[in-house]
Chains A and B, each alone.
Chain A
Amino acid sequence: MNKYLGNKSALALFLLPALLLYSVILIYPVLQTVVRSFYDWDGLSTAAFSGFANYRELFNDPLLSTSLKNGLIFALVLAAFQIGLGTVLALVCANPRTRGRKLLKTAYFIPVVLSVTVVCQLWIAMYDPTNGLVNKLFELLNIPYRQNWLSSPTQSIIAIAFVNAWQFMGYQFSLLYAGVKAVPEDYFEAATIDGCGKWRAHWHVTLPLMRETYKFCFTIAITSGIGAFVQMLIMTNGGPGTTNYTMTFMIYRYAFMESNYGYACAVSVLLVLISLIATVVINKVFDRGQNA
């Protein structure tokens, strides 16, 4: 039997294609990125070792502070909108008396399967200052709040983050809804019988039991906020100026527009480190809640 399942040539055949492809296309580039972040390199001529020069320059780069700020705003908008509002919707939707649940879930999820380009193009149209739906709605409701949504140096990042939040709301909602459903019904009933109000019962019983779900939802929201790129690329191309830059945008610009590959690799490394720290912190925060 052992010999049967230890067949060396079969093992090689099963294992090597995946392993080889994975190593060449994923692991080798990761190592390259780390190594090259210590070089001055234009992607064509021979790289020159430069120690921590790229990192030193990076920490003085005004684009970095813009990008970090925007990443944070993006992450906060995602977290507040998708997880905050998503939780409320999931709790209400899980109520056994809610009608049309299937229809609601489907409607929430449809934007998730759309291509990000379509969604961005749609919202470019929605945000159009003269002909867009958003400003027309304000006009219709007689609220004097017409905006140049995508050309304001301060607001456009929020407008863009909202597009991402809108598209992937259904995804987070599905996770949260499954989380709510997984809480045993009698826990909740016991709490309401004890005289707790419904929302208090949710607050004290349902939500703490959804810790694992929240851990995952926050990790997704925060890391995709930090790594955001496509929406600003399509909707404002990072502008006006560089006001909509994020770290991935920096990588794109330094590597593919300025051929400053070594420096761009340093940005990549920093981006991964920040995402990693964020993930660890989120895990720690939710685990501590468990022990208390």
Chain B
Amino acid sequence: MKIEHKRLSTLMITLSMMLVLSACGGGNTASDKNQDPAAAPDTGKIKLKVYAQHFDEDTKGPFDYAVEELKKEMPDVEIELDSAVQDGNQKLKTYAATGNMPDVYFTDWPTLQTFAKSKNVELLDDYESTAQYKDSLNPGVESRLIAPDGHVYAYPDTGIEFQLIYYNKSIFDKVGIAMPIKTIDGLAEAAKKLKAAGYIPMSIFGKEKWISAAFYNGLVTREQAAGFGALEAQGVTELPQAFVTAAEQMKKLQEAGLFDANATNTNYDQASSQFYQGKAAMFVNGQWEIYSSEEKLGGQVDWMYWPAKDEATYEQTKYNIDGAGSPQGYAVSPGSKNKEIAVKVAAFLAAKSAEYKYTKLGSPIISPKTDKPIAADVPVMMQRIATELLPNAKEYAKLLSNTQIQNAINDNTQNLLVDGFATENFITNLNRTLGKENQ
């Protein structure tokens, strides 16, 4: 009876394995069939499947523009769009797992790393397009194209994005807070004043952990321009002083009441509406928030530089950018039947998409330079970035690729937003991870 049972289970397992294998095989033949017309010469055109972001105004515009431009440049190439879904690249990973990769695809650095390991991304190092792309880059954004391992995996369109503190000028005036705030003490003072006047000093969507990490990195970059990137090095097994200082500063600000008590359960919609409804005096988010904050609050809102431990440090480091460039953009599948052309198309799409963002949307945050003029109606805050910050920006934060360390930072900075978590806990927890990862 026991033996029979075992034999039967083995049978069932074999059966199920066969089913799985045969189904996978079936999937592949189906996809081969899909690709066949691409090779069919009867139309005389080369068809390329492109997986790109194409779901709202901000993503459709640049892509459609780039495709139109491509038609002029390479008339014999036909683009078949496969719209990306906002699913953390699951759809793309499915393609990879089933050997069904599109010729060109748009993705981010974590996914590129996985694909580099599983050989689903073409190394672009030696292509002619890469050399040209390198020459056309804006200053300071090399890290967008060249990965930390020295390879080129994708052609980026956007530049390096970064986080800013936004503030409501009318509330600051009403409560009597003088700008600029240059020091942590100054910001803590302001927080106390604002709180006493019944405002939430700063709304933050702490339910998402990356924003508390970005806030922390803003403070870190005043002390150590490389930011989190400084943690990715052999031998850094203990939290460097700059990071300890920044953690103490963040705790100090929390204790001064800068963040709402419910910050870790606040999402973007709630936090932004606190700011836009005038309940919160400050808000922290990426530079992309400029467009909607200008739309909602008009001239009432502006951004400030990150405060530092003292005024001298503030002046010295105010152009340090709280944002690190990670490789991202249009990549090419090594399995593509028209790989040479696909590489050219990928570079072209990225460059033209950047051109659209600059000339039509007025965003100076792009990787490749363009010789056309910027859009006419650029928000004032964005103009400040283009004229005041970017030309002076020399130091961008460096990329941290180690997910373990990044996750430890995310978890523990979120903890710094609430009562009952001491700086010592922060240091102990990070030292544990650093000790493990950087030995």
Contact = CB atoms under 8 A, between A and B. Distances in A.
Contact of B418 (A45, A151, A258, A259): A151
B316 interface: no
B265 interface: yes
B13 interface: yes
Interface stretch (A111-119, A200-208, A216-224, A235-243): A235-243
Given A151-B261, A153-B421, A42 B117 contact: yes
A28 interface: yes
Nearest to A258: B403
B17 A152 contact: no
B411 interface: yes
15 contacts: A20-B15, A27-B13, A28-B20, A148-B418, A151-B263, A151-B417, A152-B418, A152-B420, A235-B265, A239-B207, A239-B264, A239-B415, A241-B412, A241-B414, A241-B421
Contacts of A19: 12
A150 interface: yes
B96 interface: yes
B118 interface: yes
A241 B418 CA distance: 10
B421 A20 contact: no
B118 A240 contact: no
B418 A23 contact: no
A154 interface: yes
B415 A243 contact: yes
B411 A23 contact: no
Interface in A131-168: 148, 150-154
A270 interface: no
Nearest to B96: A44
A148 B262 contact: yes
Interface in B82-141: 93, 96-97, 114-115, 117-120
Contacts of B264: 150-151, 236, 239-240
Interface of A: 19-20, 23-24, 27-28, 31, 42-45, 62, 124, 128-130, 148, 150-154, 235-237, 239-243, 258-259
Select the residue from A27, A241, A243 with max chain B CB neighbours within 10 A: A241
A235 B207 CA distance: 10
Nearest to A253: B407
Interface in B242-263: 261-263
A152 B93 contact: no
Nearest to A130: B262
Interface of B: 9, 12-13, 15-17, 19-20, 93, 96-97, 114-115, 117-120, 206-207, 209, 261-265, 403, 407, 411-412, 414-415, 417-421, 429, 432
A124 B432 CA distance: 33
Contacts of A150: 262, 264-265
A231 B117 CA distance: 35
Given A23-B12, A24-B19, A44 B118 contact: yes
A129 B261 contact: yes
Contacts of A153: 415, 418, 420-421
Contacts of B13: 23, 27-28, 31
A237 B15 CA distance: 40
Contacts of A242: 411
A242 B408 CA distance: 9
A125 to B, nearest CB: 11
Contacts of B93: 43-44
Contact of A23 (B15, B120, B403, B417): B15
A43 B88 CA distance: 15
Given A151-B261, A241-B415, A258 B117 contact: no
A206 B49 CA distance: 71
B422 to A, nearest CB: 11
B209 A27 contact: no
B411 A20 contact: no
Contacts of A148: 261-262, 418-419
B420 A236 contact: no
A27 B16 contact: yes
Nearest to B8: A19
Contacts of A130: 262
B112 to A, nearest CB: 12
Contacts of A154: 420
Contacts of B119: 45
Given A28-B20, A31-B13, A62-B429, 9 more contacts: A42-B114, A42-B117, A44-B97, A44-B114, A44-B120, A151-B265, A152-B420, A239-B264, A240-B414
A128 B264 CA distance: 12
A264 to B, nearest CB: 14
A35 to B, nearest CB: 11
A52 B120 CA distance: 29
A237 B208 CA distance: 9
Contact of A24 (B20, B114, B118, B419): B20
Nearest to B410: A241
A73 to B, nearest CB: 16
A62 B417 CA distance: 21
A23 B12 CA distance: 7
Nearest to A152: B420
Contacts of A42: 114, 117-118
B432 to A, nearest CB: 6
A236 B407 contact: no
Contacts of B97: 43-44
Contacts of B261: 129, 148, 151
B16 A28 contact: yes
